Chains A and B, each alone.
Chain A
Amino acid sequence: MLSIAADQYYLIGWKQLDLKKIEVAANLFPLNRTIALGPAQYYLVKNFPSEEALNHLNKGLNYDPNAVDLLQAKVTYSLMLGRQKDATEAYTRLIKIAPKIAEMAK
């Protein structure tokens, strides 16, 4: 029942681009990776760096440290917010798990 409810919140949340609904979905059914990472991916879609966005990206990365899309966003947002150390840390992790990105960087 929780998975069905979360699924509905997730669907409507993305249709309306409503973070609260995506967060409700993530809280209702965190067992599903896609739903659990929804709030972090919301900030990825919004494509606007902020402290709040970084917090959500970090929460998402706590759930899945190997989420390449979130790591990429963390590198970009951290750089734009002047957090060089965080950006370097995320980039080091990123090139380790995404070899194609490392190739491009070379």
Chain B
Amino acid sequence: MLLSLAIMTVFVPGIVGLASNTSWAVMWLAMPLLLLNCKIEMTLIHVLGLSFLSYAALSLLWSPHGFLEFMQLLALASVFVWGYTLKDLRSVTIGLSLGLAVSSVIAILQYFKVDLPILTYSKVSGVFVNPNIYAEVSGIILILILINKLWWYIPVTVPGLLVSSRAVIVGLTVVCLAWIWNKSKLITVSIIGSLIFAASFINFATGSIYERLNMWNDMSSGFNVFGHGIGSFVYLFPDYNKHLDTSVHLAEYAHNDLLQLIFELGIGAIPLILIVALLLKVNNEYRNALIFFIVISFFGFPLHMPATGFVVALVAAQLVKFSVGHRIAFNSRRSVLLNRMETA
């Protein structure tokens, strides 16, 4: 709980610099200590994760400056290994919610334009600087709260959700549809139909959407088999850029984690894609958090943000744990049946 609380609150721009997110530093310091007492049990997902990390490490050989990003991946991998040993995410969710509560209070003050001595920026974003990141964190924590039935914590997510991030709205809608799909496929299909009909009246052709489509189109010309190396996007994207005004905007992220991973790692991204595909097959409530993460990662860069990265690593660990636990339970049932058949 303390770790999750720390990850949500240690990055306070004004007290710490905006240059590096100190939440990563917390993970780098805490995870080795937490992993000391962890018994690592290897599963297929662990093996795939290890191969993904190994390729990312290898790609440092040809990446311009990728060590920081590699360290971030290492931190998330450690969180995954640690998360696998947790019984559930209840206390982690409480910690995250309390941390988010701090941001929510700050966000309300920002909304009412209260002068804050520390946080000098004016956007409603808590300590996350970017309102979209604040909304994404609020969205994924809301899902964890609902999964763990911690109803009293729901209000802390409200200010973040009111920021109206389009990716978060789409993400939560998809999660709702996935949930309804399990109840009634007919209702889901009719809702999707209505949404498509309603969407046809909305003008989506805003500047930022065109900007991102152009960016993805430009970066796709830089795809190659082995990738440009972990952490290379910010350094090498300008070589392929044809549309973005880089004299005004620094393209630090591709605003699509999957495309950025393909740009940076090429075939090295396959193990991670396989992990996500396998985890999506696991029939567990935490899958909803993974679905939300996938949707927002199509428009943003949640894998590169410590709070969302931390949460998804834990969610992935819980999904693996459930699938393994499920298999063990199935296997033990089968062995009981076999024993009975043998004795009969």
Asked whether A and B interact, the reply is yes
Partner of A64, one of B17, B25, B235, B242: B235
Shortest C-beta distance, A17 to chain B (Å), equals 14
Q: Is A80 on the interface with B (CB-CB < 8 A)?
A: no
Q: Size class of A's contact patch? A: 20 to 34
Q: When the two chains form their complex, are residues A3 and B65 in contact, meaning their CB atoms are under 8 A apart? A: no
Q: Is A45 interfacial (CB-CB < 8 Å)? A: no
CA distance A6 to B241 in the complex (A): 31
Which residues from A are CB-within-8-Å of B239? 66, 97
Chain B residue numbers with a CB within 8 Å of A32 are 19-20, 68
Nearest-CB distance from B294 to chain A (Å)?
Answer: 27
A34 contacts the other chain (CB 8 A): yes
Contact of A10 among B17, B241, B246 (CB under 8 A): B17
In terms of DSSP, what is the predominant structure of the interface of chain A? helix
Check if A33 sits within 8 Å of B234, measured CB to CB: yes
Question: Of A7, A64, A66, A97, which is within 8 A of B20 by CB?
Answer: A7
Q: Are A100 and B245 in contact (CB under 8 A)?
A: yes
**Contact partner, A34, options B19, B242, B243, Cβ 8 Å:** B19
Q: How far is the CA of A98 from the CA of B16 in the complex (A)?
A: 32
Is A69 located at the chain interface by the 8 A CB criterion? Answer: yes
**Cβ-closest chain B residue relative to A9:** B17
Answer whether residue A4 sits at the interface, using C-beta atoms and an 8 A cutoff.
Answer: yes
Known: A33-B234, A64-B235. A100 touches B246 (CB 8 A): yes
- Which residue of the partner chain, among B28, B29, B64, B243, contacts A99 with CB atoms under 8 Å? B243
B236 interface contact, C-beta 8 A: yes
Count chain A CB atoms within 10 A of each CB in B67, B236, B241, B243 and give the residue with the most: B241
Q: Do A7 and B16 contact each other (CB < 8 Å), given the known contacts A33-B234, A97-B239, A98-B238?
A: yes
In residues 1-34 of chain B, which contact A (Cβ within 8 Å)?
A: 16-20, 22, 24-25, 28-29
Query: Is the pair A69, B247 in contact by a Cβ cutoff of 8 Å?
Result: yes
**Chain B 235-269: CB-based contact to A (< 8 A → 1; otherwise 0):** 11111011111111010000000000000000000
Say whether A33 contacts B17, CB under 8 Å: no
CB–CB B19/A72 < 8 A? no
Q: How far is the CA of A69 from the CA of B248 in the complex (A)?
A: 9
User: How far does the alpha carbon of A99 sit from the alpha carbon of B237 in the complex, in Å?
Assistant: 13
How many B residues face the partner with a CB closer than 8 A?
30
B247 near A68 (CB under 8 angstroms)? yes
Closest to B252 in A: A33
Contacts of B19 in A (CB 8 A): 6-7, 10-11, 25, 32, 34-35, 38
User: Taking the complex as formed, is A8 at the interface, i.e. its CB lies under 8 A from any CB of chain B?
Assistant: yes
Known pairs A3-B24, A3-B25, A33-B234; A97 contacts B241 (CB<8 A): yes
User: Which residue from chain B places its CB closest to the CB of A69 in the assembled complex?
Assistant: B247
Interface string of B208-243 (1 = CB under 8 A from A): 000000000000000000000000001111110111
Closest residue on chain A to residue B24 by CB atoms: A3
CB distance from B233 to the nearest CB of A (A): 11
A8 touches B247 (CB 8 A): no
Contacts A98-B245, A98-B247 known; A1 to B29 CB distance under 8 Å? yes
Determine if A91 is an interface residue (Cβ-Cβ < 8 Å).
Answer: no
When the two chains form the complex, which single residue of A14, A64, A101 contacts B247, counting CB atoms closer than 8 Å? Answer: A101
A84-100 to B contact mask, C-beta < 8 Å, 1/0: 00000000000001111
Q: Roughly how many angstroms separate A3 CA and B16 CA in the complex, as a whole number?
A: 11
Q: Please give 13 more A-B residue pairs, beta carbons under 8 A apart, in addition to A3-B22, A3-B24, A33-B235.
A: A31-B65, A31-B67, A31-B68, A34-B18, A36-B65, A38-B19, A63-B65, A66-B236, A68-B250, A97-B238, A97-B246, A99-B242, A100-B246
Question: What are 30 sample pairs from A and B whose C-beta atoms fall under 8 A apart?
Answer: A1-B29, A3-B22, A3-B24, A4-B22, A6-B19, A7-B16, A7-B22, A11-B16, A14-B17, A25-B19, A29-B20, A31-B68, A33-B65, A34-B20, A35-B20, A38-B19, A64-B65, A64-B235, A66-B237, A66-B238, A68-B238, A68-B250, A97-B241, A98-B245, A98-B247, A100-B244, A100-B245, A100-B246, A100-B247, A100-B248
